[in-house]
A and B are shown apart, each in its own frame.
Chain A
Amino acid sequence: MNTPLAWKNLAHNKVRTGVGVAGVGFAVILIFMQMGFRGGIERTATQIYDALEFDLMLRSPAYLHLTEPRFFSRMRVQQAASLPEIAHARPFYLGLSEWQAPIRYALPVGREGEDPKDPAGQWRGIITLGTDPNDPGFSREDIRQQARMLTDPRFVLIDVKSKPEYGPKQGTKFSEQDIGVETTLGPERIRIVGLFKLGTGMASNGACLTSPEGYVRACPWQTIDDVNFGLLKLHDPGQGEAVRKKLAQIYGIPLHAAESPEYDKLDAAMLTNSDVEILTRAEVNEREEYRWVVETPLGQIFQLGVWVAVFVGVAIVYQVLSTDIDNMMSEYATLKAIGYSNKYLTNVILQQSVMLALVGYVPSLVISWVLYRLVENASGMPMFLTTEIMFTVLLLAIGMCVISGIGALRKLFQADPVDLF
């Protein structure tokens, strides 16, 4: 059993090693947060899509992102419904409307606006969803149940994950107490008849659900025949490709365009003069991610944040390792004099780097998990500590430390046994 010099050196100088571990930990937490935010953005839109029931989605080729979906003719959904492979073809409405935070009648009249933070009476943008209460487009059973209450165009369900600025009675979040409250959505009066739980991430701070008729009241620039999404549920989800081809034929979308490998990347509207495009669930998620992470600066900011964090980590670990080498210059030179090769010494330093990375990583993982939960609760942005993130960050942490180690090695190679005499 060879003397574990790397480990002994780390274990001996606890203060310096502590600084190193803290440095690695700091950098690792930074990376975790940046990746979490990035993941949160990726999931922003998919959070709503995940709650919807569809194998194929119809939407306008001019679709930009979740809150600017554009619309197309409801006829397209009805055409799809005629295919025997399709079990359900549901129109779905989604748009950005305006919500006036309800006046709290408990407050004395005339005093409700005194607190600058009091949202009462103020207008906010809100995601408005519209679906048939008798056959909701949601896959989640709890939402399906709640949606049955939307028997009147004036009835609205409010998302409990909506922010306090939408004026819940409790002040923090919407609850049973808000049921029955009346306020204005778009140009019309509505009544909150119930709650549902969805969350909309970065796209908006709040959401409400109503019937198609209710949606048209809230968003009068659309008619009931202008739908935002067509949710197609197949009998056999494995038939997606075949159904898509059939539909493309019906809609007059050139097949070569749909089959082109560039289809995903290019603006579909340029490839076809059709008013609709057909996407699988995977494509929907992928494009939404691409939109937020690549096309908007948001994803790039957090991507850059990851690299900045790695850079900070490299600087800290380099400092720790090179101070360590500096302090033990004559010891390393002695090892060289008695016949240890540079290869051995390189190994010692790289082992130290990897150990620092591992020791720094574990507590950071725990702290990051706590921070994810805090951020999620505070901002409503979905933060998932996936194994992919854990693994990526671990690799980045090790890579970061190894790079620092290699940098610090230059110093080690300068250790000259001649100086010992």
Chain B
Amino acid sequence: MDSQTTIPATSGAFAEGMHLPKTVQVANVNHYFGEGELRKQALFSNNLDVRRGEIVIMTGPSGSGKTTLLTLIGTLRTVQEGSLKVLGNELQGADRDLIVRLRRELGFIFQAHNLFESLTAYQNVNMAAELVGLDPQIAEGRIKSLLTRLGLGDRVHYKPKSLSGGQKQRVAIARGLVHKPKLILADEPTAALDEKSGREVVTLFQELARDEGCTIIMVTHDNRILDVADRIVNMVDGNIKSDVAVQETSVICEFLKGFPLFADLTPNTLSEVADKMMVHEADAGDVVIRQGDPGELFYLIRGGSVDVLIDDGTEEKTVAQLNQGQYFGETALITDEPRNATIVAREKSIFYALGKADFRVVLETSATFEEELRQALFGRQ
């Protein structure tokens, strides 16, 4: 038998990169504000893993706890309950020295630029470079190329007074990046920027993530930059409502679209379906479904391959082989009959499975959608 897990298909847990170390591990973190009577819980048993090189965008209404979680990860708050590991260091009960040392590995980009008015752009950025003991010559090269990259090549030695809001923000971004941090924590980094420089900043983020394995966690409401996210974490009222690997969700949607009954679904509905799928694992030789059993799940092959065997009463014959991206188990759900074939894993395989009830709902939605569409088209005439 295959083993069902509680891991959502869209978490990306079984996508590429699963072998990379985890930069951030948040486990059962609760956080409270206030004391005694006024004590109010801000975070409710948050769980979040972020792997090396991932770009995570955190969204959610204000007051949903995303900034609280970000500051906890950034060592700016004390972890009260649960476990929080950053770059392999447990923050729960960490001492002052560890915190100061860890902070030098992080890059902070704040909503406000907080530049020293008395220092030039170069000197402001250099404050971060000096701290990690970067060789002055290397630091100089990095600072200049970063500032040039951010469109400030001709303003390296300007003081903040002679820079525009966007330019100051870009200096602050350079300060957050100059010491090659392993983890960048950014709060609305592009809010003060126009589209072009905002794009330049996120492209830079992507390069850092890709080339240097830098992990980036960003709180933003700027939907112009959502496309760079590897993962989108949505928070509501202190809970992580969804934690979706964008790439994996899109893969699932593509697969689902290949299923004729789902072909007409909008991307929105498809991603909702993807959200409801759970991960199943099977080793070589495991029977995933057995002919004659009642049908409960619809399967999508994420990885590996399976044989389809049909017992015609005399012998069991392999009638087909299914590979990645293909699906099985839908007939029993549609017709409400027992399984008409046996599926055996040929190798170690990963499936994304959708429950019967959810499957039915989707089918109805699909019909409704089509119906609605017809009505709409009809109404045009």
Which A residues lie at the B interface, using CB under 8 A? 1-3, 5, 8-9, 11-13, 328, 330-331, 333-335, 337-341, 416-418, 420-421
Contacts and interface: CB of A to CB of B under 8 A. Distances in A.
Interface stretch (B12-20, B35-43, B119-127): B119-127
Most buried by B among A5, A11, A13: A5
B67 A339 contact: no
B110 A328 contact: no
Residue from the set A5, A12, A337, A341 with the largest chain B CB neighbour count within 10 Å: A337
25 contacts: A2-B130, A3-B123, A3-B127, A3-B130, A5-B119, A8-B116, A11-B118, A12-B118, A12-B159, A13-B118, A330-B112, A330-B114, A335-B127, A337-B76, A337-B103, A337-B108, A338-B106, A339-B101, A339-B102, A340-B127, A416-B76, A417-B108, A418-B76, A420-B76, A421-B110
Nearest to B102: A339
B128 A338 contact: yes
Contact of A339 (B100, B115, B118): B100
Given A338-B128, A339-B103, 13 more contacts: A3-B123, A5-B127, A8-B118, A9-B118, A13-B117, A13-B118, A328-B116, A334-B108, A335-B127, A338-B103, A338-B107, A341-B100, A420-B110
Given A8-B119, A11-B118, A335-B127, A421 B111 contact: yes
Contacts of B363: none
B360 interface: no
A3 B110 contact: no
Contact of A8 (B112, B114, B123, B187): B123
A421 B187 CA distance: 7
A328 B104 CA distance: 21
The 4 closest A-B pairs by CB, nearest first: A12-B118, A339-B103, A339-B104, A8-B118
B131 interface: yes
Contact of B136 (A1, A9, A337, A417): A1
Contacts of B102: 339
Contacts of B126: 3
B99 to A, nearest CB: 9
Interface string B204-226: 00000000000000000000000
B322 interface: no
Interface of B: 67, 70-71, 74, 76-77, 100-104, 106-108, 110-112, 114-119, 123, 126-128, 130-132, 136, 159, 175-176, 187
Given A421-B67, A421-B71, A339 B131 contact: yes
Contacts of A3: 119, 123, 126-127, 130
A356 B237 CA distance: 50
B61 to A, nearest CB: 16
A330 to B, nearest CB: 5
B116 A9 contact: yes
A340 B76 contact: no
Nearest to A2: B130
Contact of B70 (A11, A13, A341, A421): A421
Nearest to A8: B118
Contacts of A1: 136
Nearest to A335: B127
Nearest to B176: A338
Decide if the interface of chain B is mainly helix, strand, loop or mixed. Answer: mixed
A36 to B, nearest CB: 37
Contacts of A340: 127, 131
Nearest to B172: A334
B136 A418 contact: no
Given A1-B136, A12-B118, A13-B118, A420 B112 contact: yes
A330 B114 CA distance: 6
Task: Tell which of B107, B110, B130, B187 has the most Cβ of chain A within 10 Å.
Answer: B110
A9 B70 CA distance: 31
A418 B104 contact: no
A328 B187 CA distance: 20
B77 A418 contact: yes
Contacts of B108: 334, 337-338, 417, 420
A157 to B, nearest CB: 65
A3 B136 CA distance: 11
A398 to B, nearest CB: 23
A335 B115 CA distance: 10
B136 A331 contact: no
B217 to A, nearest CB: 12
Nearest to B110: A420
A417 B128 contact: no
Nearest to B175: A338
Contacts of A330: 112, 114
Nearest to A1: B136
B185 to A, nearest CB: 9
A413 to B, nearest CB: 13
Nearest to A333: B114
A337 B107 CA distance: 9
A176 B95 CA distance: 85
A5 B116 CA distance: 9
Contact of B114 (A2, A11, A12, A334): A334
Chain B CB within 10 Å, residue with most, of A3, A11, A341: A3
B76 A331 contact: no
Which residue, of A5, A8, A334, A420, has the highest number of chain B Cβ atoms within 10 A? A334
Contacts of A5: 116, 118-119, 127
A1 B116 CA distance: 18
A420 B176 CA distance: 14
Nearest to A338: B128
Contacts of B176: 338
A416 B77 CA distance: 10
B110 A338 contact: no
A275 B176 CA distance: 86
Nearest to B107: A338
A338 B110 CA distance: 11
Contacts of A339: 100-104, 106, 131-132
Contacts of B114: 330-331, 333-334, 420
A338 B136 CA distance: 18
Contacts of B119: 3, 5, 8
B188 to A, nearest CB: 10
A67 to B, nearest CB: 59
B163 to A, nearest CB: 15
Nearest to A341: B100
A320 to B, nearest CB: 15
Contacts of B70: 421
B168 to A, nearest CB: 12
Nearest to A6: B118
Contacts of A416: 76
Contacts of B123: 3, 8
For A2, A338, A416, A421, the residue with the greatest tally of chain B CB atoms inside 10 Å of its CB is A421
A188 to B, nearest CB: 76
Nearest to A344: B131
A421 B104 contact: no
Given A417-B76, A418-B71, A421-B70, A338 B117 contact: no
